[in-house]
């Protein structure tokens, strides 16, 4: 079961379960689509993996298996991350 985290780790934007803007990597690092794609070039700044759209948990299920309320907020230093992004963004995720 994935953790539905409440916000973008980089910019802090709220990403409730029903948000269509949430992206996750295989480790569930969670970012808004603007950060994941425009800022990080679809290269997760923590693990270098790609992002996919986070699925929305249906109402009945979210009542039974609630979203996480623990905010993870850890803005990245883009001077460092941009070098990593450059290195990986043109490599297919399955080859990284
Ligand atoms: Zn963001
Ligand atoms: Zn990651």
Task: Give domain limits for the chain.
Answer: 22-95
Half-sphere exposure of residue 3: CA atoms within 13 angstroms, side-chain side? 15
Per-residue pLDDT at 32 = 98
Write out residues in the chain with pLDDT < 70, as ranges: none
C-alpha–C-alpha distance, residues 96 and 92, integer Å: 6
Task: Give residue 43 CA to ligand 2 midpoint distance, Å.
Answer: 8
Per-residue pLDDT at 65 = 97
Task: Give residue 35 CA to ligand 1 midpoint distance, Å.
Answer: 4
Predicted TM-score (pTM) of the model is 0.94
Per-residue pLDDT at 37 = 98
Tokens 């490599």, located at residue: 91
Q: Cα angle vertex 50, ends 62, 57, to 5°? A: 10
Q: Model confidence over 30-44: pLDDT tens digits?
A: 999 999 999 999 999
C-alpha–C-alpha distance, residues 7 and 11, integer Å: 8
Task: Give residue 44 CA to ligand 2 midpoint distance, Å.
Answer: 5
Task: Give residue 59 CA to ligand 2 midpoint distance, Å.
Answer: 27
Per-residue pLDDT at 67 = 98
Q: Are 9 and 73 in contact (CB under 8 A)?
A: yes
Q: DSSP class of residue 45?
A: T
Most distant CA atoms of the chain, gap in Å: 43
């Amino acid at each position: 079961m994935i953790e539905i985290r409440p916000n973008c780790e980089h910019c802090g934007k709220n990403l409730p379960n029903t948000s269509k803007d949430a992206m996750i990597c295989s480790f569930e690092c969670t970012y808004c689509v603007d950060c994941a794609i425009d800022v990080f070039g679809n290269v997760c700044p923590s693990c270098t993996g790609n992002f996919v759209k986070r699925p929305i948990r249906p109402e009945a299920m979210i009542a039974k298996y609630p979203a996480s309320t623990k905010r993870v907020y850890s803005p990245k230093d883009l001077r460092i991350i941009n070098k990593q992004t450059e290195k990986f963004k043109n490599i297919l995720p399955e080859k990284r």
